[in-house]
Each structure stands twice: as C-alpha cells, then as structure tokens.
Amino acid sequence: MSRLWEKGLPLDERVLRYTAGEDHQLDARLVAYDVRASIAHAEMLAAQKLLAEKDCQAIVQGLKELLIEFQAGSWRIRLEDEDVHTALETRLTDKIGDAGGRVHLGRSRNDQVLTALRLYLRDAATDVRTSVEGLCQSLQNISSLQGTVDLPGTTHMQHAMPSSVALWSAGFGEAFQDAIDGLGSALRRINKNPLGSAAGYGTPGLAIDRDLTTTKLGFAETQNPVTAVQLSRGKAEAGLLFELSLLMQDLGRLASDLLLFYTQEFRYIVLSPEVTTGSSIMPQKRNPDVLELVRGAAGTVQACLNECMLIMAKLPSGFQRDLQRMKPPVFRAIDLTIESVDIMAYLISTVRFLPENITLGDELFATEDAYKLVQSEGIPFREAYRRVAENLQK
C-alpha cells in the first residue's frame, strides 16, 4: 500500500506507529466529510477542465460507494493507511483505476485534513446546539410543572432572598441559551473554506476555482490569503472548545445545585431511581453519580481546551505536524459535552421538588421590608436598611 506522501523509501514500523498515532481510529468520524470534500474538489477540477468528465464521474461514484461500504462495515481505516485520506484514495484507485490518483490534483493533505475537520466541526456544533435545546426544554418543563415552589435564594452559600423553582430554572435556561449563541459565534472561524490552499501556498500554475468548492461545501467564505489557512489551524477548534467549556461550567453548576438539593440536610428534591446508583456495601444508599460525573466533566472539557491551546503555543507559520495531536482533545470534548448535556436533560425531567421540606424564614424578606419603608416613609434606602437590620437583631 502507498500513503499519500510516499516516495518509495522504506519507513520504520515504529515511526509509522508513532506518527500515525490514533488517527487510523479517530478518523472514522471523518470518512463522510472527506468523501464530501473530495467529491466537491473533483467536480471543481472537471469544471476547470483539469479533470476529464468521465474520470470525475468515476471518482464521484467510487467515493459514494466507498462511503456506503464503510458505513456497512466492509472496510475500516488501518494503521497501514495512516489516516482517512490515504485510506480513501488507496481504495478509490483500487476500485476505479488510475482515475483515482487524479483526485489529489490541486490539493495537499494539509488542506484536505482541515477541510474534512471543519465540515465535521460545523456539524458537531449543530449537534451540541440540538442537545442544549433539549436541556432548555427540560428546564422549561420543570418550571411549568413546579415553578411555583418556593426556594431560598442564596449568596455566599447563605439564605439571602426569596426565589422559586421558576426563577432558578430560568437563570440556567438563559445561561444555556447564551451557550447556543456562543456556538453560533464559534462558527465564524469554522465556516471558512481552506480547500485549495494546498500546503499553505496555493497551487501556482494551476487554475483552480476555490470559490466553487466553497459554494459546493456550503462554507460561508473562501479563506484568503492561502498563507492564512495554516496560521488559522487550531483557532476554530479552540474557539469551539472555549464555548463548550463555558457550557460545561454552567452544566456543572446546575449539577452542584441539584447535588445540594438532594442531600439529607436539604432534601429539596427526589431523584428517580432510574438516574441514581447503589452502594456496594450500604443497602440504603442511592447515589447521584450522574450529577457528580457531570460536574467532573466540566474540568475535563476545559482541560481539552488547555491542551489545544498549548499545542498551538509559539508554533511558527506554515504547517506543523504538532497540530495532528489536536484531534484527541477536540473529539473527546465534543463527545463528552453532548453526552453530559443529554444525560442532564433526561435527569432534569425526573426531578421532583418537595415543597414540604423547603422553608423560607422571615429574614429572607428583609430587603423587601427595606424597600417598603423607602416607599412608605420616603426615607433613604441606607436608613431603611439599618432599621430593618436593627429589628432583626432584637
């Protein structure tokens, strides 16, 4: 077998294993995206008279068949393939002959990798958004069904002012809506077409049409100049992971609230047995493991962001192989975020508040009492504040 970069020289097996890393396993999620990008590229070459129409048709049909076969489990990306790009081109050439070798004209593995990854990230951002919308719906449902239940609002972990389930859930609902907006912002860097920038310096002497592949692949714009493409590597990934980190921070805070509410000391809520686990030694225990793991996941996703940022730090311009190591933290953060949001949406749907266990002491209404004094007597708020405080100390 021949990898895209091979020139007939031997390669030590240890070097292959180290340089290929996890790509032959991770790239399974990129097969459909590399097929899509390769089809757009081939059709562009044909439109520019750089590829015969019959070869273009063979390439397009061959790639579509390879995708169907992959999804059916007929082949997989092997270590010897190194990555999805070699795996597809090798099998395409085996399937349709020399025409398969013509698909790489006018591109490098550098822009090929980035194109498939950005197409994937665009869909991943949409998938996260869908999950967050489901979580928002669960919060709205709990507000509709139990919103009138009183809750003590807290500051510094102390009872502070009156609140309610409706106010509590609405606060998190707005936070998660903000996360949805943030995902839209992350798309600004993702939605730029790198295809045709090749190794970072374009395709001198070859009249390709990068705007055509931009249109075919649904990118918002063609990334220019070509030297900007490799400089942008990691920014779209880190931008998305930053938004995921903010989302997971709020999800962790929601989990922390529910963990407090579930303690015997609070007993504000009941969790369904379906979302709790048991103890291996204590027969009476039902543990909120899901909430604890969600809270921990916030740290994992932020660590993925930090890992990406550190990989990018102080790299010179142009392509650097260091960037290959971004795939594991990016994929891990996306998967963990979607799993965590989805499981929380389900858990929230099972939560039942226990109003009989929730008491709002008179002191929670102190601020309201001060406001009443201001309005009834026309005194400054600071004087009303002191008078209410003095009454509470009696």
Question: At residue 152, what are phi and psi to the nearest 5 degrees?
Answer: -80, 125
The residue type found at 73 is: G
Cα 230 to the chain's mean position, in Å? 22
Q: In sequence order, which residues have a C-beta less than 8 Å from that of residue 17 and are 6 or more positions away?
A: 79
- The residues facing 150 across adjacent strands are 164
Q: Kindly name the residue from 144, 272, 279, 317 that is annotated as catalytic.
A: 279
Positive or negative CA dihedral for 120, 125, 126, 132? Answer: positive
Q: Kindly name the residue from 156, 169, 232, 349 that is annotated as catalytic.
A: 156
The residue type found at 394 is: K
Can you read off the two tokens belonging to residue 275?
């979302």
Can you read off the two tokens belonging to residue 213?
């592949």
Half-sphere exposure of 197 (CA within 13 A, CB side): 26
Q: What is the maximum alpha-carbon separation in the chain?
A: 93
Contact 218, 264 (CB under 8 A): no
Active site residue 24: no
Contact 219, 286 (CB under 8 A): no
Active site residue 156: yes
d(CA 330, CA 311): 12
Q: Which residues are catalytic?
A: 156, 279
